[in-house]
Amino acid sequence: MNIARHVGALDAQAVIDAACRKAQEIGVPQNVAVVDGAGHLVAFRRMDGAKFIAIDIALNKAFTAAGARKATGEIAGAAQPGAAGYGVNTQHQGRFTVLAGGLPLALPETGEVVGAIGVSSGSTAQDSDVAEAGQRAFLEGASRT
């Protein structure tokens, strides 16, 4: 039987640590959420000074990236008026978001999405940069196992 690897507490901590290092480097305190492949919260950190209003946004970015199996920013075009996915951002009681800063965490050998990271408190470009740092840490850790 082939049992899929899941994002656990240690994976999530490494992802959050890397993301927070990047946030400190750019001088933007962040809220960072890591979820498993089903969108359930595994770990969360609110850095000192991160906007409390952005906590739910970080959680929603991670939830969306896990469920859509793609970066949240990639969904934005499809959600515009006249596009095939118009209104998708109203799904899941408003938890579905097209704001950049949510990225899937996929196994490098198979591409299977086993979790996601969501970051919010800066601009969407800053959020994306911080999420990418966390995603890189996951990929580096997954490739060593």
Q: Token pair 């899929």 is at which residue?
A: 4
Examine the pLDDT at 1 and tell me if it is beyond 70.
no
User: Does 2 score more than 60 pLDDT?
Assistant: no
Q: Residue 107, Cβ neighbours under 10 Å: how many?
A: 17
The predicted structure's pLDDT at residue 145: 58
Give the mean pLDDT of 67-74: 96
Q: pLDDT above 90 covers what percent of the chain?
A: 78
Q: Write out pLDDT tens, residues 33-56.
A: 999 999 999 999 999 999 999 999
Task: Give the integer Cα–Cα distance in Å for 17 and 86.
Answer: 35
Query: How much is the pLDDT for 83?
Result: 85
- Mean pLDDT over all residues of the chain? 93
Q: Please give the pLDDT value at position 4.
A: 52
Q: Residue 143: is its pLDDT beyond 70?
A: no
Pairing of strands 102-106, 41-46: unpaired
3-state secondary structure 109-123: CCCCEEEEEEEECCC
Q: What is the pTM of this model?
A: 0.93
Domains of the chain: 9-144 (3.30.450.150)
Higher local confidence (pLDDT), 76 or 71: 71
Q: Give residue 56's pLDDT.
A: 98
The string of pLDDT tens digits covering residues 86-137 is: 888 888 888 999 999 999 999 999 999 999 999 999 999 999 999 999 999 9
Q: Torsions phi, psi of 133, nearest 5? A: -65, -40
Q: What is the DSSP string of 77-134?
A: GGGSTTSTTTTGGGTGGGT----S-EEEEE-TTT--EEEEEEEESS-HHHHHHHHHHH
